[in-house]
C-alpha cells in the first residue's frame, strides 16, 4: 500500500493525452530492435490510456506508474495490489511482463503478475482497456497491461564498453519506507549485458488521524540480468529474474505472506523478414514457492499454507506487410500452468493430523491462434479486424481435509466435501473465441474519432473452479477480494463472455489537449458469488460475514472518462499548465440491478503544473465521491467522499535528479473505496466489526538519483 510520491511518478510530465479506447495501430508482438537503432521503425500505437516510457530511476512498485495511465487498484499488500480496468479486477485483466503470462499462485492472489517487476525495471508500460486487439493477448475481458522490461541497448563500438548506469534512493515518512534501485549496462555494437535491481522496506503506515494501519509492513527485492546479441537482421536475448519477499502484510486478508521466492527465465529470438516483415519466437518459465502464515504481532495466529506454481509458455508471432497499406499479424501461443496448494498440519489443533490438500497437481493449459488484419482504407480512415481462438483445459487431482473427525458433534463438512470432490470428473474444457473490430477517423489534423467493438472471453482460474472446502476456516482462506468473507469453488463454472462497445474523441492542439471516452460492456456468465452460508466470530452483528460460492450470472458495466490539459502561459518564469481528469464507472447485475463489488465512485483531479528548465512542480487536488452503491452479498462497506492535496517537485542538475513530495498535504483521514475491510483490526478487536481499510496520512517523500 505504498503512497504515491514524486519520485515514483511525475504527473506534471505530460506531452500527450491518450484516449481510453483500445485502438492499437499495429500492436507489434515483436519488440523493436534488429539493426541499427536509427533504422528501427516504431509502429504507431493508440491505446486506451496510452503508453508510457518509464525512466529507469523511478522507484517503487509498478502500481505507481500505471495509476498515471488510469489504472485503479484493489488494495492488498505493499507491492501486491490487484489492477482494475473498467470496473473489473484481477484475472479479468491480462498482465503480460515481456510477453510472458505469470499466474498468481496463491488462494488470496498475494503474488499477482505486477508484483514481480519493480518500477525501475520497466522500460515501457502500455494499457489497453476494453476493446484490446486480439494480438495484444487473450483470456481476458477487461483489457491488457503490457510491461516491457527486456529492452537491451547497444552501443557504437566494436568492443564491449560501459554504456550506462544509475543508482537511486528514496524515503517515505508515513511508513518509514526505504527504497533503493540500481542498474548497469555494458554494450558493443552487437552485444548488450545489463543488470537491474530494487529493494524496498516499509513499516506499517499511519492514517490521517495518526493511527497505525496495522499489518501494512513489507520487504521486497527484485533482480534481473539480461544478455543480448544482434546482427543486421536478427537478435537473441535472454533474461533471468529473481524475487525475494520475506514478509508482506495484508490487512484485508486473514493470512499474511511469510515468504515468496521466484525465479524466471525468458529467451527471445527476432528476425527481420523480406518486405519489412518480422518474426519472433519466445520461450518463458516462471516458478514460485509461496508461503502464508503470520509474522508480526500486528496480526497473530498459527496456520502455515504452502503453494508452488510454475508457468511455461511459448509465443510465435509474424508481422507480414500485405501491400496497399495493409498488414497481417498472425500468431500461435501455448501456456501451461501447474499448481500445488497444501496447508501443513498443526499438531495439537483441529488442523491435524493430515495436510489439508487444497489444489493437488492443478493444471491450466491454453493453446491459442490468432489473425489480425489492419489497413489504412483512405488517408482519413484506418480499420482493424481480428479473431482469436483459444482451447483451455483445467484439471486437478484428489484432495483431503485435515481430518475426518466430527466437529463439535456435527458432521465434518470439509471431509464430506473432499469425498464428493474426489468422486467427480474434474477435467473441464473451454473454447474461447475473441473478435475485435476497431476503427479510427481523422476529423482534422488535430482531431480524431475512434470506435471499437469486441467479443472477449475468460476461462475460470483454478481457485474459482477447484476450491472445495466448505467449513468457515477453509473458505475464509480463499478469495482475493479483501472482504472478510469465505469462498467455495464451482467446477461447473462457464467462461465469461464480454461484448464491449467503445467510442472516443481526441483533440491535440497547440495549447489544448483533450480526450473523452465512453464504453459499455455486457458480460454473459460473469463469475460472481451467491450466498450459501454465514458465520460470526464477534459478539456483535457487525462481525457477520458470508460464505459464498462462485457462480455465473449476467452483468453490465459502463462508464466515461475525460482528460484535458491546457497550457495557459509560457514566459520567462517557465511553462504553466492545468490538467483535469474525470472518471466515472458503474457496474450492476442484470437481475435486480444490484451493484457489483468494488466499483470505484466518481473521481476527479485538478492539477497546476509548472516547468522551468530542469525544474518541475505540481500541485494536484483529487476528489473522490461517496461510495454508496455497494455489494450486499459481500457485505461491502460504504465510504465517505474525500479530497487530497499532493505537492510534487523535481530538479535535475547534470546527472543528479532530486525529488521532493508531500502527499496528503493536509493529513486528511479517509477510507479506501477499493481497500476492502481490515481483517487485521477485526482480529485485534472484534467488537468494532469489519471497518474499511484507511488510506495513508501525510507523507514527506524524498529521493535522489545519480546517472553514471
User: How does residue 250 score in pLDDT terms, banded at 50, 70 and 90?
Assistant: very high
pLDDT (tens digit per residue) in 193-221: 999 999 999 999 999 999 999 999 999 99
Greater pLDDT, 548 or 56:
548
User: How does residue 57 score in pLDDT terms, banded at 50, 70 and 90?
Assistant: confident
- Give the whole-angstrom CA distance, residue 431 versus residue 465: 16
pLDDT at 56: 65
The domain defined by 161-707 folds into: Maltoporin; Chain A (2.40.170)
Answer for the pair 6, 31: CB distance below 8 angstroms, yes or no: no
Percent of the chain with pLDDT over 90: 88
Give me 561's grid cell.
472518462
User: How does residue 543 score in pLDDT terms, banded at 50, 70 and 90?
Assistant: very high
Please compute the mean of the pLDDT values over residues 48-69 and round it to a whole number.
78
- The one-character DSSP state at 26 is T
- Which of 487, 475, 490 lies closest to 428, judged by CA? 490
Q: Which residues contact 585 (CB under 8 A, 6 or more apart)?
A: 86, 87, 557, 558, 559, 599, 600
Give me 140's grid cell.
481476458
Please say if the pLDDT value at position 9 is more than 90: no
- Vertex 638 angle, CA 636 and 643, to 5°: 135
Please compute the mean of the pLDDT values over residues 317-330 and round it to a whole number.
95
Give me 518's grid cell.
465512453
User: How does residue 50 score in pLDDT terms, banded at 50, 70 and 90?
Assistant: low
Backbone dihedral region for residue 246 (phi beyond 0: left; psi -120 to 50: alpha; all else: beta): alpha
User: How does residue 409 score in pLDDT terms, banded at 50, 70 and 90?
Assistant: confident
User: How does residue 324 score in pLDDT terms, banded at 50, 70 and 90?
Assistant: confident
Please compute the mean of the pLDDT values over residues 699-704 and round it to a whole number.
97
pLDDT (tens digit per residue) in 344-359: 999 999 999 999 999 9
User: How does residue 157 score in pLDDT terms, banded at 50, 70 and 90?
Assistant: very high
Please say if the pLDDT value at position 337 is more than 90: yes
Please say if the pLDDT value at position 21 is more than 90: no
Please say if the pLDDT value at position 171 is more than 70: yes
Percent of the chain with pLDDT over 70: 92
Sheet bearing 124-129, strands edge to edge? 50-53, 124-129, 143-148, 93-97, 100-101
Please say if the pLDDT value at position 327 is more than 50: yes
User: In whole numbers, what is the pLDDT of the chain averaged over residues?
Assistant: 92
Please say if the pLDDT value at position 553 is more than 70: yes
User: How does residue 427 score in pLDDT terms, banded at 50, 70 and 90?
Assistant: very high
pLDDT at 47: 38
pLDDT (tens digit per residue) in 89-139: 989 999 999 999 999 999 999 999 999 999 999 999 999 998 999 999 999
Torsion over CA: 541, 297, 306, 149 (sign): positive
What burial letters (b/e) apply to 81-90, b meaning 16+ CB within 10 Å? bbbbbbbbbb
pLDDT (tens digit per residue) in 283-292: 999 999 999 9
pLDDT at 679: 98
pLDDT at 262: 98
Greater pLDDT, 201 or 44:
201
Please compute the mean of the pLDDT values over residues 293-303 and round it to a whole number.
96
Q: Which residues contact 200 (CB under 8 A, 6 or more apart)?
A: 2, 59, 60, 61, 78, 79, 118, 177, 178, 179, 180, 218, 219, 220, 221
Placement of cell 564491449 in the chain:
160
pLDDT at 354: 97
pLDDT (tens digit per residue) in 560-591: 999 999 999 999 999 999 999 999 999 999 99
Placement of cell 517487476 in the chain:
117
Answer for the pair 691, 677: CB distance below 8 angstroms, yes or no: yes
Residue 268 phi/psi, 5-degree rounding, is -130, 135
Placement of cell 506534471 in the chain:
12
pLDDT at 150: 95
Domain ranges of the chain: 161-707
Please say if the pLDDT value at position 25 is more than 60: no
Amino acid at each position: 500500500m505504498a503512497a504515491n510520491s514524486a519520485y515514483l511518478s511525475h504527473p506534471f510530465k505530460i506531452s500527450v493525452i491518450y484516449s481510453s479506447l483500445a485502438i492499437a495501430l499495429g500492436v507489434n508482438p515483436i519488440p523493436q530492435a534488429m539493426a541499427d537503432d536509427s533504422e528501427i521503425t516504431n509502429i504507431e500505437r493508440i491505446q486506451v490510456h496510452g503508453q508510457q516510457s518509464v525512466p529507469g530511476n523511478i522507484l517503487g512498485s509498478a502500481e505507481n506508474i500505471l495509476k498515471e495511465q488510469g489504472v485503479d487498484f484493489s488494495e492488498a499488500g505493499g507491492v501486491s495490489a490487484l489492477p482494475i480496468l473498467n470496473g473489473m479486477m484481477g484475472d479479468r485483466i491480462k498482465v503480460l511482463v515481456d510477453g510472458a503470462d505469470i499466474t498468481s499462485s496463491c488462494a488470496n492472489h498475494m503474488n499477482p503478475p505486477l508484483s514481480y517487476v519493480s518500477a525501475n525495471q520497466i522500460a515501457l508500460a502500455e494499457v489497453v482497456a476494453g476493446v484490446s486487439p486480439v494480438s495484444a493477448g487473450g483470456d481476458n475481458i477487461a483489457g491488457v497491461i503490457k510491461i516491457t522490461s527486456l529492452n537491451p541497448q547497444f552501443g557504437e563500438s566494436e568492443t564491449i564498453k560501459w554504456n550506462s548506469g544509475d543508482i537511486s534512493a528514496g524515503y517515505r515518512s508515513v511508513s518509514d519506507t526505504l527504497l533503493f534501485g540500481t542498474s548497469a549496462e555494458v554494450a558493443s555494437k552487437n552485444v548488450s549485458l545489463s543488470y537491474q535491481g530494487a529493494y524496498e522496506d516499509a513499516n506499517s503506515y499511519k492514517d490521517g488521524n495518526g493511527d497505525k494501519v496495522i499489518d501494512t509492513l513489507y520487504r521486497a527485492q527484485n533482480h534481473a540480468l539480461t544478455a543480448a546479441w544482434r546482427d543486421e537482421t536478427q537478435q537473441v536475448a535472454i533474461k533471468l529474474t529473481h524475487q525475494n519477499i520475506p514478509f508482506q502484510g495484508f490487512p484485508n486478508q486473514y493470512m499474511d505472506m511469510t515468504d515468496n521466492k521466484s525465479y524466471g527465465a525468458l529467451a527471445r529470438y527476432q528476425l527481420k523478414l523480406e518486405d519489412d516483415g518480422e518474426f519472433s519466437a519466445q520461450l518463458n518459465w516462471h516458478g514460485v514457492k509461496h508461503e502464508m502464515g503470520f509474522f508480526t504481532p500486528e496480526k497473530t495466529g498459527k496456520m502455515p499454507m504452502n503453494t508452488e506454481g510454475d508457468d511455461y509458455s511459448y509465443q510465435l508471432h509474424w508481422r507480414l506487410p500485405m501491400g496497399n497499406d495493409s498488414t497481417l499479424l498472425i500468431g500461435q501461443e501455448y501456456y501451461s500452468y501447474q499448481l500445488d496448494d497444501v496447508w501443513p498440519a498443526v499438531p495439537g489443533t483441529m488442523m491435524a493430523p493430515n495436510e489439508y490438500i487444497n489444489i493437488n497437481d492443478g493444471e491450466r493449459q491454453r493453446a491459442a491462434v490468432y489473425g489480425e488484419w489492419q489497413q489504412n482504407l483512405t488517408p482519413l480512415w484506418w480499420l482493424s479486424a481480428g479473431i482469436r481462438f483459444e482451447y483451455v483445459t483445467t484439471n486437478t487431482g484428489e484432495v483431503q481435509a485435515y481430518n475426518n473427525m466430527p466437529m463439535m458433534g456435527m458432521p465434518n463438512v470439509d471431509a464430506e466435501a473432499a469425498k464428493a470432490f474426489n468422486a467427480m470428473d474434474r477435467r473441464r474444457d473451454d473454447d474461447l473465441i475473441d473478435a475485435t473490430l476497431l476503427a479510427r477517423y481523422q476529423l482534422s489534423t488535430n482531431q480524431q474519432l475512434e470506435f471499437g467493438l469486441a467479443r472477449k472471453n475468460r476461462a475460470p482460474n483454478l481457485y474459482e473452479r477447484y476450491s472445495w472446502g466448505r467449513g468457515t476456516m477453509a473458505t475464509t482462506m480463499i478469495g482475493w477480494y479483501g472482504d472478510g468473507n469465505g469462498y467455495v469453488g464451482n467446477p461447473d463454472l462457464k467462461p465469461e463472455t464480454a461484448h464491449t462497445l467503445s467510442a472516443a474523441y481526441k483533440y491535440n492542439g497547440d495549447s489544448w489537449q483533450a480526450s473523452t471516452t465512453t464504453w459499455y460492456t455486457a458480460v454473459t456468465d460473469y463469475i460472481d458469488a451467491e450466498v450459501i452460508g454465514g458465520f460470526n466470530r464477534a459478539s456483535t452483528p457487525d462481525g457477520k460475514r458470508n460464505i459464498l460460492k462462485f457462480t455465473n450470472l449476467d452483468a453490465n458495466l459502463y462508464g466515461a472518462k475525460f482528460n484535458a490539459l491546457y497550457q495557459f502561459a509560457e514566459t520567462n518564469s517557465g511553462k504553466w499548465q492545468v490538467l483535469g481528469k474525470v472518471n466515472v464507472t458503474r457496474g450492476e447485475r442484470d437481475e435486480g440491478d444490484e451493484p457489483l463489488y468494488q466499483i470505484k465512485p466518481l473521481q476527479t483531479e485538478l492539477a497546476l503544473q509548472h516547468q522551468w528548465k530542469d525544474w518541475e512542480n505540481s500541485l494536484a487536488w483529487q476528489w473522490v465521491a461517496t461510495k454508496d452503491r455497494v455489494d450486499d452479498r459481500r457485505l461491502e462497506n460504504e465510504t465517505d467522499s474525500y479530497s487530497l492535496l499532493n505537492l510534487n517537485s523535481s530538479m535535475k542538475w547534470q546527472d543528479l535528479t532530486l525529488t521532493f513530495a508531500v502527499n496528503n498535504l493536509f493529513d486528511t483521514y479517509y477510507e479506501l473505496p477499493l481497500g476492502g475491510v481490515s481483517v487485521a483490526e477485526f482480529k485485534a478487536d472484534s467488537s468494532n466489526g469489519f471497518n474499511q481499510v484507511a488510506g495513508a496520512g501525510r507523507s514527506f517523500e524524498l529521493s535522489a538519483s545519480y546517472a553514471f
